[in-house]
Structure 1
Amino acid sequence: MNANKTKRSTVVVALGGNALLRRGDEPSFANQLDNIKLAARAIAEIAKEYRVVIVHGNGPQVGLLALQNLAYDKVSPYPLDVLGAESEGMIGYMLAQELQNRIPEKDVTTLLTRIEVDSDDPSISDPTKFVGPVYDEEEGRALAEKNAWTMKRDGEYWRRVVPSPLPKNIIDKTSIETLLAAEQIVIACGGGGIPVCKCESGFKGVEGVIDKDLAATLLAKQLGAEKLLILTDAPAVFLNWGKQNQRALRNVSPDELKQYHFPAGSMGPKVDAAVDFAEFGGKAYIGALDQSLDVLAESCGTCVSLEHQLEEA
């Protein structure tokens, strides 16, 4: 029995922060819990067939923590790496509890995960990672001036953007491997992981939020996972999104996907992550949360693989 279990493929599931708190929803506990229950239902089905590691986003949640952080002005605001760790604990707890309720026979562990980045990463001077709620332009500009934030357009709305350094190494990878070997469902690298960089005393926190899709790709590569599943609030990768001539990309090669441009703050990192993992030799999938098993079965969503490059040739 144990020998059969070790042969199960590993899938890293990247769960978008916007899939846990939908765009425009009130960022309440009740709304997040409802969405996490939907996520847990989908992931529980995946866990019946695969060994699963879950990497979740935290853009809406860490932005909300930052706003709450500003409400008490008698102390300096906590840095983003600490708020990221808070969001890892909060979302990880909610996910673990709902997954355990769905499949009580499985152990589920949430692991606070540190990821090494460069202290002089270019994103520190050119932030692109959306966090927090959406605003209309007037409110967004007022908040930017009041709090010295950088704001950028996110579709028809405005949102705060923060540095998003590239992940280099998952410091706690061995612990993740140990939990997976014990057939546990593992929630790791939450919010893209806690960004840290090397210093004289070892490591120190970095002010930023790592993109969870890039962190999930790095994790999938370092674990030797066969599949990377990026779940979001879009059913697939689309060309000309939102226009009359929009078209879903279904089965594509990395080279084909690299020909197109996607927004840096939304679909761009997902496409970059999928291309990176496919070029590494794995299969990457992008699709909607409520269609996760169908996406893995390649009956919907977008699949990126070198196999499709061979088919094109």
Structure 2
Amino acid sequence: MRIVIALGGNAMTAPDGGARVEDQLAAIGAAAEPIADLVLAGHEVLLTHGNGPQVGNLLRKNELAATVVPPIPLDWCDASTQATIGVTILDALDDALGARGSDRRTTVLVSRTLVDRDDPGFAHPTKPIGRYLTRDEAEPLIDHGQEFVEIAGRGWRRVVASPEPRECLDAAAADTLLAAGYVVVCSGGGGIPTQRTADGRLEGVEAVIDKDLTAALVAGHIGADLLVIATDVATVIRGYQTPTQQPIGTLTAPAMRELAAREAFAAGSMGPKVEAITRFAERGGIGVITSLDRITDAVTGTAGTRVVPAG
């Protein structure tokens, strides 16, 4: 099969969320093991990943240096972390594949995701990023054109647009590399947010794109059979934290739409994941949410919450 695997933040950091270099190396090394098994089983694999903690580290550096050097734009932060995380994944995969006697090739694409210039998110940014600051700490960043809101009792926090992903601009390159036998890392962090100007040029834009929605988009672009979103739980839970909670197994896309409307999965966590696998199933594929250690079982159909096409 051709499989897209979206690695969540837990696959990139320590269990406590730590994003030190050694934390990331250890976590990504562990994540590479089941992926290498899938590659050796004959599957074509494209990986995408989150980058929240890593971008957070860069934003912290922006804050500390704002009075000395101009802040690095958010699209540049995305590009930087795509490259850093991508190369780290490649090294870990090369080690895991080599230990299994394979010389399968790996590569990373620093890749862009197209968004609409007229997306309503740009008019009313609501996606909070970074840490809470005092007014004095936020002032130099506001002077550089960043938008902050005050949260009563907590401080000032930056907000940016979170536009809908429309097209993975480098999916054709990923498709070509997959066909040539590469394991590909692509569209990390939802892709570098990019818009088309009035005169047709492409340019980066300050925004955050949901990585799971982009994963569903790139999976459709490359004709994937299966989209696996690897997170820190084995399945999606119906009635979460209630006496009647229960795991969700396999549902059709229309059934998951109905369930999601009733459950109102959290917008900052499970909601986008459910939306992503549902969208992919509506396009004819199979979408799965499961934990990293159950990826192999998810591919064989014995683990995770699965959404399949209607009929």
- Does the alignment reach a TM-score above 0.5? yes
Residue 183 of structure 1 aligns to a residue whose secondary structure is coil
Distance 2:246 2:119 in 1: 35
Distance 2:276 2:123 in 1: 22
Q: Is this contact kept in 1: 2:63–2:137, CA < 8 A?
A: no
What is the aligned partner in structure 1 of residue 86 from structure 2? Answer: 92
What is the aligned partner in structure 2 of residue 4 from structure 1? Answer: none
CA shift for structure 1 position 217: 0.8
Residue 241 of structure 1 aligns to a residue whose secondary structure is coil
Could you say if the C-alpha distance between residues 244 and 124 of structure 1 is closer, same or farther in structure 2, counting changes exceeding 3 Å? farther
Matched, 1:38 2:30: yes
Structure 1 window deviating more from structure 2 (25-34 vs 270-279): it is: 25-34
Residue 103 of structure 1 aligns to a residue whose secondary structure is helix
Structure 1 window deviating more from structure 2 (171-180 vs 281-290): it is: 171-180
What is the aligned partner in structure 2 of residue 183 from structure 1? Answer: 181
- Give 1:91-170 correspondences, 5 Å limit: 91-104=85-98, 105-127=103-125, 129=127, 131-132=129-130, 140=132, 142=134, 146=138, 149=148, 162-170=160-168
CA shift for structure 1 position 195: 0.9
Q: Is this contact kept in 1: 2:148–2:157, CA < 8 A?
A: no
Q: 1:208-229 CA distances to partner (integer Å, 9 max, x unpaired)?
A: 1211111111111111111111
Q: TM-score, normalised by structure 1?
A: 0.85
Distance 2:189 2:299 in 1: 23
Matching residue within 270, 274, 277 for 2:277: 274
Matched, 1:61 2:54: yes
Could you say if the C-alpha distance between residues 256 and 161 of structure 1 is closer, same or farther in structure 2, counting changes exceeding 3 Å? farther
Q: Which AA in structure 1 matches 2:196?
A: K
Q: Which AA in structure 1 matches 2:115?
A: V
Distance 2:136 2:209 in 1: 21
Q: Is this contact kept in 2: 1:179–1:186, CA < 8 A?
A: yes
Residue 269 of structure 1 aligns to a residue whose secondary structure is helix
Could you say if the C-alpha distance between residues 162 and 263 of structure 1 is closer, same or farther in structure 2, counting changes exceeding 3 Å? farther
Residue 209 of structure 1 aligns to a residue whose secondary structure is coil
Structure 1 window deviating more from structure 2 (199-208 vs 28-37): it is: 199-208
Distance 1:144 1:284 in 2: 46
Q: Which AA in structure 1 matches 2:70?
A: S
Structure 1 window deviating more from structure 2 (116-125 vs 75-84): it is: 116-125
Q: Which AA in structure 2 matches 1:298?
A: G
Residue 215 of structure 1 aligns to a residue whose secondary structure is helix
Q: TM-score, normalised by structure 2?
A: 0.85
Residue 163 of structure 2 aligns to a residue whose secondary structure is coil
Aligned alpha-carbon RMSD (Å)? 2.4
Structure 1 window deviating more from structure 2 (238-247 vs 197-206): it is: 238-247
Number of aligned residue pairs: give it.
289
CA shift for structure 1 position 255: 1.4
| Gap runs ≥5 in structure 2 | 142-146
Matched, 1:197 2:195: yes
Q: Which AA in structure 1 matches 2:20?
A: S
Distance 1:277 1:144 in 2: 45
What is the aligned partner in structure 2 of residue 26 from structure 1? Answer: 18
Matched, 1:174 2:172: yes
Matched, 1:83 2:77: yes
What is the aligned partner in structure 1 of residue 214 from structure 2? Answer: 215
Structure 1 window deviating more from structure 2 (181-190 vs 248-257): it is: 248-257
What is the aligned partner in structure 2 of residue 232 from structure 1? Answer: 231
Distance 1:176 1:143 in 2: 44
Structure 1 window deviating more from structure 2 (109-118 vs 201-210): it is: 201-210
Distance 1:130 1:19 in 2: 22
What is the aligned partner in structure 1 of residue 40 from structure 2? Answer: 48
Residue 119 of structure 1 aligns to a residue whose secondary structure is coil
Structure 1 window deviating more from structure 2 (121-130 vs 209-218): it is: 121-130
What is the aligned partner in structure 2 of residue 16 from structure 1? Answer: 8
What is the aligned partner in structure 1 of residue 64 from structure 2? Answer: 71
Distance 2:47 2:77 in 1: 19
Could you say if the C-alpha distance between residues 59 and 126 of structure 1 is closer, same or farther in structure 2, counting changes exceeding 3 Å? farther
Q: Which AA in structure 1 matches 2:51?
A: N
Q: 1:272-299 CA distances to partner (integer Å, 9 max, x unpaired)?
A: 1111110111010100001111122222
CA shift for structure 1 position 103: 0.9
Q: Which AA in structure 2 matches 1:301?
A: G
